[in-house]
Amino acid sequence: MNTHVHDRRRFLALAAAAAAAPLLTACGAGFGGNDDKSDGSAADDVTGSFDWKREKGTTVKALLNKHPYTDALIADLKSFTERTGIEVEYDVFPEDNYFDKLTVDLSSGRASYDVFMLGAYMVWQYGPPGWLEDLGPWMRNSSATGAEWDQADFFPNLLQADQWSLKAGAPLGQGGQYALPWGWETNVVAYNTEVFGRLGLKPAESFDELTELAGTIKRKAPGAGFDGMYGIAVRGSRSWATIHPGFMTMYARNGLKDFTVDGGKLTPAMNSPEAVAFTEEWARMVKRGGPPSWTSYTWYQCSSDLGAKKAGMLFDADTAAYFQAVKGASPASGKIAFHPGPEGPDGSLATNMWIWSLGMNAKSKKKSASWLFLQWATGKEHLRKSAITHNHIDPVRKSVAEDAAYKDKMRHLPGFLETFETVVDQTKIQFTPQAQFFDATTSWAAALQEIYGGEGAKSVLDGLADDLAGKVG
Amino acid sequence: MGWRLTLRPYVLIVPALLLTCGILYPFGLGLYYTLFDFSASKPQPDMVGFENYRAVFTQKAFWNSAWVTVLYAVGAALTESVLGVAVALLLHRATLIGRILEKILILPLMIAPVIAAIIWKLMLQPSVGVVNYLLRPFGLGGVQWTDTPTGALLSSIAVDVWVYTPFVAILALAGLRSLPTSPFEAAAVDGAGWWYTFRRLTLPMLWPYVLVAVIFRFMDSLKVFDIIYALTEGGPGDSTVVLQIRAYLEAIRFQRYSFGISYTIVLWAVVYLAAMVLVKHLGKIQRKAAEVTT
């Protein structure tokens, strides 16, 4: 009996030790991923003359976000495979889940995807941990990059937006090239010409006028035959995405900053007296002329409200209006015009932008093939075809923007080309680059919701600034 | 032969042992991670001891989230229990309509909570949602359901109630159908009224079943994520940021892994303690119910 007890204890002790072994191993092993990256770029391994067929027979895996730009890419993938002999396998996720999927995948340290879509803000999050391949060496290597790729053809502000030194507060356009611009969006005002005509309205040239205009449309449009129409569609959900389109554009046009940078130290500036006054005014505009249930509004709702004639104006990405404006896309198609939006007090048309970029996984085992894919996807031929035969508008390349066929295609949209040409040089990322971008802007959106709900702007923004001061460095 | 008999019990517990390891391994690893300053910006972190827990407990946002979580869990579990028992009592009479309603009642349980939240989000939309459309004749067509902190919390609880009340009702109905009939027959012979019978017989005997449902619902509501995130994303402001959403934001969106896991460990401790108290209470209730039955 005693022996039995003894045996059981010994067995349990051995079993516990066996169970603990992997735990201890894992503890010792550290925190996921591996650290086997070398200092030299894999681009240095590519020598000889440039050859599209260099990686024939390889398969590249891509993670893509559901978007009309993606549809244009997928529609043209056959020509990439014909040119290179490289197959592309891809997964497409809706935007709500896309970045979570990408973040988890990259942070795991695996190379499930060789290439993926990302925004320039994501470079600030994915760059510092070393998840993104620096594409600079690939771009500079003439064996890896064909002459026709023509780096100088990109709008310089777009190429610079994906270039960063990985130091908080350091300006963009210096350091590694962590992604390539592929499609972008500038934030402007789109409006329903029918309601503007019937009410005798003109687009706003100042922020005060915009607030007034939004209120007027909400008051008068239903009586003029536009049942349930409100003034202006702007995003309001508790997300970073609420801050970056119309809000940040108007904020920047007022000469306001998110952070001030002094000797590499970031200080939140969204509670400066001018920023408080602007934020109060923005919330007032939404209350007077914004959408009902604004706190749940994403770009999908804003865009579809413009198309459904529920919104008189949209202050958001030009693409969000474009997808409603194309023939047959919505009840408002053919009645949507574009305008740069209100100027700042000093006439500024500083505009914030979003860039759909393409990046490469630093852990990819197929970097050479992945680079060929990135080169093709951001090349003149594919982008021209996508802009002309699909809905890949807002060209990242000057040659496409100036292409006669592209202009012919866009000319039927009143004000689109003029607006694009007016703001293109003043459009850049208006945020201060830093790794806590998503925390800062999500909290900023929550603060905006509280102010909209009636809380005092100063106390809410002071609280936000206090909270962020401890997080950004 | 002897060694086979000795070994048999140990062989039989191997699946349970593997299962236990499968549960304990990630849990232990998670606990271990909370002792480090581990984030995307610090992939090779330093040991910081209990600093993450100190930071969690000193964060104003944590106490706000804890309060919202408790409000949500109590509100949802309580409402679902009361409504669930009421529905079960109505369905207990085995009429044809009752049997049809039983089948319909189970429908919300077959829908993923996140889908239910999206459906309700559309229905609660102020201008095009069906809820305001139905309320319009009563002069209540302009309610902005999720635009205010109270409205957002109540709307989230309402969706939870819509999804899970049938669960409580089904458990309570099963309990009602398993009760002995003799005490009720005796009460009827004595001329006891419906309310007296319900208070003195039905409810005391039904309590163990109801409490099981309450335990499940309360624990689940403390861990809620999907319904609130799909409906309000935690807004407006921080008004519906429950602990699970805070943990998700910290660990996944903001990539502060250790800090995010610390939130989940704190939540686990809260759920564990709540479950312990409720299960202890369940034992007492069961004993009392047994006394009533005898």
Residue B197's contacts (CB-CB under 8 Å, 6 or more residues apart) are B184, B187, B188
**Each residue's pLDDT tens digit, A33-89:** 444 444 589 999 999 999 999 999 999 999 999 999 999 999 999 999 999 999 999
Decide if pLDDT at A319 tops 90.
yes
Decide if pLDDT at A263 tops 90.
no
**Each residue's pLDDT tens digit, A290-313:** 998 899 999 989 999 999 999 999
Phi and psi for A313 in degrees, rounded to 5?
Answer: -140, 160
> Does residue A159 sit in the same domain as residue A80?
yes
> Does residue A362 sit in the same domain as residue A306?
no
Strand partners, A260: A267
Contacts of A128 in chain B (CB under 8 A): 40-41
Instruction: Answer yes or no: is B25 within a domain.
Output: no
Locate tokens 């271990």: which residue? Answer: B32
Q: What is the pLDDT of residue B131?
A: 94
- The residue segments making up the domain with residue B288 are 51-109+150-226+241-293
Q: How confident is the model at residue B43 (pLDDT cuts 50, 70, 90)?
A: confident
Decide if pLDDT at A6 tops 60.
no
Decide if pLDDT at A364 tops 50.
yes
Q: What is the pLDDT of residue A22?
A: 39
Instruction: Answer yes or no: is B12 within a domain.
Output: no
CB A24 within 8 A of CB A63: no
Chain B within 8 Å of A399 (Cβ-Cβ)? no
Contacts of B24 in chain A (CB under 8 A): 19, 23
Cβ contact A31–B10 (<8 Å) = no
Q: What is the pLDDT of residue B293?
A: 64
Q: What is the CATH number of the domain that holds A92?
A: 3.40.190.10
CB A435 within 8 A of CB A232: no
Closest CA–CA distance from residue A329 to any residue of chain B (Å): 20
Q: What is the CATH number of the domain that holds B289?
A: 1.10.3720.10
Q: How many CB atoms lie within 10 A of CB A51?
A: 14
Q: How confident is the model at residue B103 (pLDDT cuts 50, 70, 90)?
A: confident
Cβ contact A27–B249 (<8 Å) = no
One-letter-per-residue 3-state SS of A364-385: CCCHHHHHHHHHHHCCHHHHHH
Residue A135's contacts (CB-CB under 8 Å, 6 or more residues apart) are A176, A177, A178, A179, A180, A359, A360, A371, A374
CB B209 within 8 A of CB B81: no
> Does residue A215 sit in the same domain as residue A339?
yes
Q: How confident is the model at residue B169 (pLDDT cuts 50, 70, 90)?
A: very high
Q: How many CB atoms lie within 10 A of CB B216?
A: 18
> Does residue A400 sit in the same domain as residue A342?
no
CA A108, CA A459: separation in Å to the nearest integer? 40
> Does residue A215 sit in the same domain as residue A200?
yes
**Which range is most confident: A282-286, B169-173, B252-256?**
A282-286
Q: Which amino acid is at B69?
A: T
The angle at the Cα of A358, spanning A354 to A363, to the nearest 5 degrees, equals: 130
Q: How many domains does chain A have?
A: 2
CA A94, CA A64: separation in Å to the nearest integer? 9
Is B36 strand, coil or helix? strand
CA A160, CA A427: separation in Å to the nearest integer? 12
CB A327 within 8 A of CB A334: yes
CA B208, CA B131: separation in Å to the nearest integer? 36
CA B222, CA B232: separation in Å to the nearest integer? 17
Q: What is the pLDDT of residue B283?
A: 82
One-letter-per-residue 3-state SS of A294-306: HHHCCHHHHHHHH
Instruction: Answer yes or no: is A44 within a domain.
Output: no
Q: How confident is the model at residue A17 (pLDDT cuts 50, 70, 90)?
A: very low
User: What is the reported pTM?
Assistant: 0.88
Instruction: Answer yes or no: is A13 within a domain.
Output: no
> Does residue A443 sit in the same domain as residue A368?
no
Q: How, if at all, do strands A259-262 and A230-233 pair?
A: unpaired
> Does residue A64 sit in the same domain as residue A103?
yes
CA A76, CA A82: separation in Å to the nearest integer? 10
Q: How many domains does chain B have?
A: 1
Q: What is the pLDDT of residue A20?
A: 41
Cβ contact A449–B237 (<8 Å) = yes
Strands (DSSP E) found in A255-364 = 259-262, 265-268, 311-317, 336-339, 351-360
Closest CA–CA distance from residue A19 to any residue of chain B (Å): 6
Chain A within 8 Å of B252 (Cβ-Cβ)? yes
Contacts of B11 in chain A (CB under 8 A): none
Q: Whose CA is closest to A473, among A248, A178, A263? A: A263
Structural element, H or E, at residue A192:
strand A180-192
Instruction: Answer yes or no: is B133 within a domain.
Output: no
CA B261, CA B49: separation in Å to the nearest integer? 14
CB A230 within 8 A of CB A290: yes
**Each residue's pLDDT tens digit, B21-39:** 999 999 999 999 999 999 9
Tell me the Cα Rg of chain A.
Answer: 25
Chain B within 8 Å of A155 (Cβ-Cβ)? no
Locate tokens 């990439």: which residue? Answer: A80
Closest CA–CA distance from residue B7 to any residue of chain A (Å): 10
The DSSP result for B55-124, as a single string, is: HHHT-HHHHHHHHHHHHHHHHHHHHHHHHHHHHHHHHTS--HHHHHHHHHHTGGGGS-HHHHHHHHHHHT
**Each residue's pLDDT tens digit, B179-215:** 998 989 999 999 989 899 999 999 999 999 999 999 9
CA distances to A99, A113, B149 from B287, rounded to whole Å, are 52, 58, 42
Residue B247's contacts (CB-CB under 8 Å, 6 or more residues apart) are B260, B261, B263, B264, B267
CB B201 within 8 A of CB B159: no
Of B125, B233, B237, the CB nearest to A237: B233
CA A229, CA A313: separation in Å to the nearest integer? 10
- Rounded to an integer, the average pLDDT of B237-252 is 95
Instruction: Answer yes or no: is B211 within a domain.
Output: yes
Q: Which amino acid is at A80?
A: F
> Does residue A446 sit in the same domain as residue A305?
yes
CA A193, CA B92: separation in Å to the nearest integer? 61
Instruction: Answer yes or no: is A124 within a domain.
Output: yes
Q: How confident is the model at residue B77 (pLDDT cuts 50, 70, 90)?
A: very high
ipTM of the complex: 0.84
Decide if pLDDT at A4 tops 60.
no
> Does residue A195 sit in the same domain as residue A337?
yes
For chain B positions 181-220, those within 8 Å of chain A (CB to CB) are none
Decide if pLDDT at A23 tops 80.
no
For chain B positions 149-168, those within 8 Å of chain A (CB to CB) are 149, 152
The region that residue A109 occupies, defined by phi over 0 for left and psi between -120 and 50 for alpha, beta otherwise, is: left
Is A260 strand, coil or helix? strand
Instruction: Answer yes or no: is A201 within a domain.
Output: yes
CA distances to A343, B101, B153, B229 from A346, rounded to whole Å, are 8, 67, 43, 41
Q: What is the pLDDT of residue A26?
A: 39
Cβ contact B21–A455 (<8 Å) = no
Cα B88 from chain centroid (whole Å):
19
Instruction: Answer yes or no: is A93 within a domain.
Output: yes
Decide if pLDDT at A13 tops 80.
no
Token pair in block for residue A42: 């894999």
Decide if pLDDT at A373 tops 80.
yes
Distance between the two ends of chain B, CA-based, in angstroms?
Answer: 49
Residue A398's contacts (CB-CB under 8 Å, 6 or more residues apart) are A153, A154, A155
Of A7, A33, A238, the CB nearest to B234: A238
Closest CA–CA distance from residue A436 to any residue of chain B (Å): 7
- The residue segments making up the domain with residue A117 are 59-185+354-428
Instruction: Answer yes or no: is A40 within a domain.
Output: no
Q: Whose CA is closest to A298, among A118, A71, A94, A73? A: A94
> Does residue A94 sit in the same domain as residue A73?
yes
CA B127, CA B167: separation in Å to the nearest integer? 32
Instruction: Answer yes or no: is A199 within a domain.
Output: yes
CB B176 within 8 A of CB B168: no
CA distances to A324, B82, B171, B219 from B211, rounded to whole Å, are 53, 11, 10, 12
Q: How, if at all, do strands A427-428 and A351-360 pair?
A: parallel
Instruction: Answer yes or no: is A165 within a domain.
Output: yes
Interface test with B, best of A95, A235, A296, A438 (most B CBs within 10 A): A296
Q: How many CB atoms lie within 10 A of CB B11?
A: 9
Of A33, A125, A295, the CB nearest to B147: A295
Cβ contact A310–B127 (<8 Å) = yes
**Each residue's pLDDT tens digit, A179-201:** 999 999 999 999 999 999 999 99
Q: What is the pLDDT of residue A21?
A: 39
Strands (DSSP E) found in A392-433 = 427-428
Cβ contact A293–B249 (<8 Å) = no
> Does residue A210 sit in the same domain as residue A139?
no
CB A234 within 8 A of CB A241: no
Whether the upstream peptide bond of residue A137 has omega within 30° of 0, thus cis, is no
Cα A150 from chain centroid (whole Å):
24
Is A313 strand, coil or helix? strand
Instruction: Answer yes or no: is B145 within a domain.
Output: no
- Rounded to an integer, the average pLDDT of A156-160 is 94
